[in-house]
Amino acid sequence: MKTIVRFPRIARRRLAPGVVALVLAMPLAVVAVSVRAPLLRVLAELDNGVERIAFAGQIDIASRIIDDPVFNGPTMLEMVVDFRSVRGVGRANGRAFGTEAQTVVHRPLLPFDEFELTFPYQPGNDVHSARTAKATISVAFTPQTGLRMTSKLDLVRADVVN
């Protein structure tokens, strides 16, 4: 699973250089405001209890770094995480799985942070058969190297989180 990091212009933005890291691949260093990485041929193959699904694609993350000079509060990292380019194919019958999910995440900007995000995926348009996948996003930041993100994909079973 590859991760794309973009830095749109904001009012209070640190022009941190972006680093895109790919799961199972060497990190690809990019110094730019907007970053797109080449496609990654990594398959996350998951068993949702009904069938095995091979996932591929990309998670698109547009991020901003937000300072708080008024209260001198913690610097915030905003990530708009778009899962729409993640696609799955059922191994048994070739069914296509997709998602339209996005999520907006605010976290304090730390030297290292790791967190999970869930998103639904379903066969075709059958939203009533949707299941949940889990992406683990790792973020590393230094003023020198900027942001560095990695991700990996997993499944959420009903009894895993609860």
Residues in touch with another protein (CB under 8 A): 8-12, 62, 64, 66-71, 73-74, 76, 78, 80, 99-108, 115-120, 122, 125-132, 134, 156, 158-162
Contacts of 19 (CB under 8 A, 6+ apart): 5, 27, 28, 29, 30, 145, 146, 147, 148, 149
Alpha-carbon gap, residue 43 to 51, rounded angstroms: 15
State the virtual CA torsion across 143, 115, 119, 93 in degrees, nearest 10. 100
Instruction: Please name which of 93, 61, 64 lies closest in space to residue 80, comparing C-alpha atoms.
Output: 61
CB closer to another protein out of 85 and 118: 118
Q: How far apart are CA 58 and CA 29, in angstroms?
A: 17
Q: Closest CB to another protein among 25 and 80? A: 80
Kindly tell me which of 64 and 148 has the beta carbon lying closer to another protein. Answer: 64
Which lies closer to another protein via its Cβ, residue 25 or residue 67? 67
Least distance between another protein and beta carbon 121 (Å): 9
Residue 26: CB minimum distance to another protein, A: 27
**Cβ 85 to another protein, closest distance in Å?**
14
- 153 C-beta neighbours (distance < 10 Å), count: 23
Between 41 and 47, whose beta carbon lies closer to another protein?
47
Q: To the nearest whole angstrom, how small is the minimum distance from the Cβ of residue 68 to another protein?
A: 3
Q: Closest approach of Cβ 41 to another protein, in Å? A: 27
What's CA 42's distance to the chain center, in Å? 14
